[in-house]
Structure 1
Amino acid sequence: MTISAPSATGVRTDWDRVPEHVRCGLEARLGAPVTEAVTQHGGFSPGVAARVRLADGRRAFVKAVSAETNPVSPALHRAEARISAALPLSVPAPRLLAGHDDATWVALAFEDVDGRQPQVPWRPDELARVLHAVGQLAHTLTPAPLDVPTVVESEAESFRGWEELLDGDGSALDRLDPWVRRNLAALADLAAPWGEFASGDTLAHGDLRADNMLLTADGRVVFVDWPHAVRAAPWFDLLLMLPCVRAQGGPDPDEVFTAHPVGRDAEPEGVTATLAALAGYFVRQSLRSAPPGLPTVRAFQAAQGAAAIEWLRTRLGSRLP
């Protein structure tokens, strides 16, 4: 099965289009004005994403968004600021340098990482490098070094996708894959116990994709964008990542998962239940209208949903017709 995900694209705002009081507020906390800003493309966050140079020669990565651009994004930026500021120095993540929050605009400045996103379609050598880093990340962040929501607290509603489709008015059912439509009730039952298996005391990033990673020249993998961090099983991040890898030209996810150090010892029944819940999330979300500032997110979720369903069918074999 060939799956192709669209590019991750948010509607970007150039730094000089941000209101002056927001720019001045962040610059005051940085201790120098911005003299150069280069907008960065890729990723789903709307608003500003720019590499900047300051008047004193320092560099930073700036992101900023207003509630008018997307009503959800400011809360995510606030969560990212809290989590990034608390991450241990041993975690390969950019350090938070400064922030400005006026209740409408949230602007953050991070350490500028000299790196690039992995190439997609995925290259085997880069994927191997990332998979090794994901394993190290799970080890470093167990036990969880800071207080964040549990995966059940965070995803209890999101992971009810199959139930929502069953309880809906039926208008979305015609848009479902025939296998999914035929097995909708069974998929809801299969996913129901996911929380008891996915729970744990590892700090999971919660949104690992190629556009949330940077590869550096010295061999590091730096993980960016941490607003979705949760406490979960050590294999949770790997499971969430692999449908996206598959949708962007990567290898069979079940082979990768079962061979990986954090996946090979996971309870198979729990992995299948959590994968079913994740697939339901992607499929249900892909049928919604696009949120403001994120024109490609639904197509991206549809591709991840198709990859998750393909993986789930591999794990189930002939259990569902």
Structure 2
Amino acid sequence: MAWDDLPQPVRDVVEQHFGPVAGADEIVAGGNSDIACVLRLDSGRSVFLKGVAGVSRRMRWLRNEIACGQVAAGVAPRVLFHADIDAAEAGENWLLVAYEHVPGRPASLAPGSPDLPLIAATIERISAMPAPGMTALRERWAPTDWWTRLAPETVVGWDVEEMTRLAALVPDLVDGDRLLHTDLHGDQFIIGDTGSVHVIDWGFPGAGAPWVDTAFMILRLIEAGHRPETAESWARARSSFADIQDEGLTAFAVYVAGFWSHLAATGGSGSPHRARLARGYAAWRLRRTLVTVI
């Protein structure tokens, strides 16, 4: 939805807060908001606006972003204002959030990218932050039977009983009290001209073990062209990754492969590409470690 397509009461709330809007540049990436744009204000200032219409999971995710504007202060873009507009005014319930505009470019995760040290430092910074008010990842990941829910053709060649056993170990492994983003990839890192880094899209935060976001980045590095062993070496160089052993990392990979495969198969927020990526990494981990006991 473009700025001019918004119900007039919604636009009025924004302009009451910021003054007249001279123009808006729509953001086409992402799909969890009904409006995402950079507003150019008459004052010469720019702000980033997100909005969701209708009470739904997407509205809950946007409320998470509001909370993380404080919890991840200095890393997440600063929240300038947020407002709930009820259906009596706008035809349906709206949640609007305006952030400071952080101009920059997405990070490159490609082998040899000069962005990789910046990404590493930013993840280390996040992993050291406390996570007050965030749902424990241990609770979110309490269901562990993803492999048993998959269609037979998806699990050909996999020992489903063993995968389920390994996945069941993960809630304890990810337990902790550090801030987690849980959905990091190159587009979530915005790198400014001066080398500043902001992390955006905090819809799925949690509290957990400090190594979790780095473990997710292994998958993203493989996706960007790194060999699995190179991606893991990058992760092992991070201090936040010190507490996870090979066997635990294999269990994590197995859990994520089952979870992402289930999301892709059921039309959730996952994709078939991401599910194949996770299963490929889990298979590589299993071959590498020949896990029998954790």
TM-score by length of 1: 0.80
**Alpha-carbon distance in structure 1 between the residues aligned to 2:290 and 2:7:** 55
Of structures 1 and 2, the one scoring higher in RCO (CA 8 A, sep 6+) is: 1
**Mind listing any 5+ residue stretches in structure 2 that lack a counterpart?**
87-92
- Are positions 1:151 and 2:137 aligned together? yes
Tell me if structure 2 keeps the 8 A contact 1:272–1:315: no
For residue 302 of structure 1, what is the aligned residue in structure 2?
A: 275
Among candidates 52, 56, 61, match of residue 65 of structure 1: 52
**Alpha-carbon distance in structure 2 between the residues aligned to 1:105 and 1:250:** 42
Among candidates 93, 96, 110, match of residue 79 of structure 2: 96
Tell me if structure 2 keeps the 8 A contact 1:138–1:234: yes
For residue 75 of structure 2, what is the amino acid of its counterpart? P
Quote the RMSD (CA, aligned, Å).
2.5
- Are positions 1:173 and 2:152 aligned together? yes
For residue 78 of structure 1, what is the aligned residue in structure 2?
A: 63
- Are positions 1:269 and 2:256 aligned together? no
Tell me if structure 1 keeps the 8 A contact 2:127–2:178: yes
- Are positions 1:49 and 2:32 aligned together? no
Tell me if structure 1 keeps the 8 A contact 2:182–2:205: yes
**Mind listing any 5+ residue stretches in structure 1 that lack a counterpart?**
1-12, 166-171, 292-296
- Are positions 1:219 and 2:195 aligned together? yes
Among candidates 4, 11, 19, match of residue 7 of structure 2: 19
- Are positions 1:207 and 2:207 aligned together? no
For residue 116 of structure 1, what is the aligned residue in structure 2?
A: 105
For residue 169 of structure 1, what is the aligned residue in structure 2?
A: none
SS at match of 2:191: strand
TM-score by length of 2: 0.86
Deviations 1:181-231 (A, max 9, x none): x31111010110211111112111222112211011111221112232211
Cα distance, 1:162–1:247 mapped onto 2, change above 3 Å: same
- Residue pairs, 1:18-37, within 5 angstroms: 18-29=6-17, 31-37=18-24
**Alpha-carbon distance in structure 2 between the residues aligned to 1:160 and 1:19:** 44
For residue 189 of structure 1, what is the aligned residue in structure 2?
A: 165
SS at match of 1:305: helix
- Are positions 1:87 and 2:65 aligned together? no
**Alpha-carbon distance in structure 1 between the residues aligned to 2:156 and 2:149:** 17
CA offset at residue 314 of structure 1? 4.7
For residue 240 of structure 2, what is the amino acid of its counterpart? V
For residue 61 of structure 1, what is the amino acid of its counterpart? F
